[in-house]
Amino acid sequence: MKILAVNGSPRGRRGNTERIVQPFLKGAQEAGAETETVYLKDREIKHCQGCFTCWTKTPGVCIHQDDMPALLEKVRQADVIVFATPLYIYTVSGLMKDFMDRLLPMAQPYILQRGDHFIHPPRYPREEGESVKFVLISNAGFPERCHFSALEETFRRLAASPETDLAGTICCAAGELLGQEAMRDQLTWYLDAAQQAGREVVEQGQISTVTQAILDRPLADDPAVYANVTNAYWESLGVEKLGFGEAGLEAQGTEVAAYGTPLPPPSSRDSMRNLVAGMALTLNPREASDLEAVVQFKVTGDEPGDYFLDIAQGRCKAYEGEHPDPTLTIHTPSDVWMAISNGEMNGAAAMMTGKYSIQGNLGLLMRFDKLFSAPQAN
């Protein structure tokens, strides 16, 4: 089985879309498929002129002389085509749209009724009973999955012919988190599911309902927390806020803490600041549904500082500063807490031997493993 992945991100190999495509293809390879990725940003693909010459004077051949004829040949040879695109204004990227428009020579101009709909029949029909499978892979900056509705409908329509099947859609909301180095360990559940999806498309012809359900989960469990963290990031870059009025940027349902400044999203796991910011994103809302607490970090050593986590209603926000009434205070040198977080030091043993100390609610500390863990699939 040949799988052609077409990546329409202008960021190409460095993009968030690619972070889903590669595990998907790895899974497909493990199941025996031959795979190839084409990066549209590296190809010359001119806009379709709408002249229909490829349907009339030179059937199957476009007026443009660019990289598209070679790509059409790859499309013809493929059993599965992965359309991989970032979500741009609720749909595919411009690169992907040009590619899709230029697939026109693959169809005939006539329209035929197939089932309930009219379609353009393919110019190069597959063998009797064979179909080409499409997979959509996308990711978006917004944290809710509903943003993909128009994109998914496009691909449902594109695959609505007897010779094409939509084998599954991987639409990752809050996909910007995929690019955060510090989030890598927390997001393995999603990338593992993408790999499993690749295997399933090869072995079963489609993504299973269980895997699909996992892949339909946004990366951030709480859109309001994600919004606040994202906004803190733009603020940290000094981007001016215009026209937000008194309410500011704070997402609904959360309160501005008067005692600290929100931490921007982590760029890596190599500093205490980033580590605390990362903890806020990994709160497991199910574990924290009953919890209202403030965890204060009083950090000494190489990277001294005061940070706190404000946990309420299944949400967690990270701040730099000192809270007047923390539920639990952790006094720790930065290297000790980082070693514990990276699994290089046992947390309980470190406390027993005085490497760090706490004040307040010990029971809360003992819940940390469950509270700050990647979300589990339902």
Ligand X SMILES: Cc1cc2nc3c(=O)[nH]c(=O)nc-3n(C[C@H](O)[C@H](O)[C@H](O)COP(=O)(O)O)c2cc1C
Q: Which of 4, 6, 16, 155 binds ligand X (CB under 6 A)?
A: 16
Which residue carries 């009025």 as its tokens? 245
- CA separation for the pair 192, 195 (Å, rounded): 5
- In whole angstroms, the minimum distance from the beta carbon of 8 to ligand X comes to 9
List Cβ neighbours of 252 (8 Å cut-off, separation of 6 or more). Answer: 224
* Residue 176 vs 310, nearer CB to ligand X: 176
175 binds ligand X (CB under 6 A): yes
**Residue 194 corresponds to which amino acid?**
A
> How would you class 87 by CB atoms within 10 Å of its CB: exposed for 0-12, middle for 13-18, buried for 19 or more?
buried
9 binds ligand X (CB under 6 A): yes
- In whole angstroms, the minimum distance from the beta carbon of 176 to ligand X comes to 5
Which among 175, 174, 137, 154 has a CA at the least distance from the CA of 24?
137
- In whole angstroms, the minimum distance from the beta carbon of 139 to ligand X comes to 5
Q: Which of 39, 134, 142, 308 binds ligand X (CB under 6 A)?
A: 142
Q: Which of 13, 123, 147, 367 binds ligand X (CB under 6 A)?
A: 147
* Residue 151 vs 371, nearer CB to ligand X: 151
* Residue 87 vs 316, nearer CB to ligand X: 87
Q: Which of 62, 68, 140, 336 binds ligand X (CB under 6 A)?
A: 140
Closest-approach residue to ligand X (CB):
15
Give the strands of the sheet with 328-333, arranged side by side. Answer: 260-262, 315-321, 305-312, 293-300, 328-333, 357-360
139 binds ligand X (CB under 6 A): yes
Torsion of CA 29, 31, 33, 39, to 10 degrees: -40
- What phi-psi label fits residue 115: left (phi over 0), alpha (psi between -120 and 50 degrees) or beta? left
- In whole angstroms, the minimum distance from the beta carbon of 16 to ligand X comes to 4
- In whole angstroms, the minimum distance from the beta carbon of 33 to ligand X comes to 22
- In whole angstroms, the minimum distance from the beta carbon of 264 to ligand X comes to 16
176 binds ligand X (CB under 6 A): yes
Cβ atoms of residues 161 and 119 within 8 Å: yes
11 binds ligand X (CB under 6 A): yes
- Structure tokens belonging to residue 163: 């010779």
- Structure tokens belonging to residue 284: 């497991």
Instruction: Pick the stretch among 22-30, 34-42, 138-146, 286-294 that binds ligand X (CB under 6 A).
Output: 138-146
Query: Which residues 72-131 are close enough to bind ligand X by CB under 6 A?
Result: 86-90
23 binds ligand X (CB under 6 A): no
List Cβ neighbours of 212 (8 Å cut-off, separation of 6 or more). Answer: 168, 197
- In whole angstroms, the minimum distance from the beta carbon of 310 to ligand X comes to 26
- In whole angstroms, the minimum distance from the beta carbon of 144 to ligand X comes to 8
Cβ atoms of residues 200 and 154 within 8 Å: no
Q: Which residues bind ligand X (CB under 6 A)?
A: 9, 11, 15-17, 86-90, 139-142, 147, 175-176
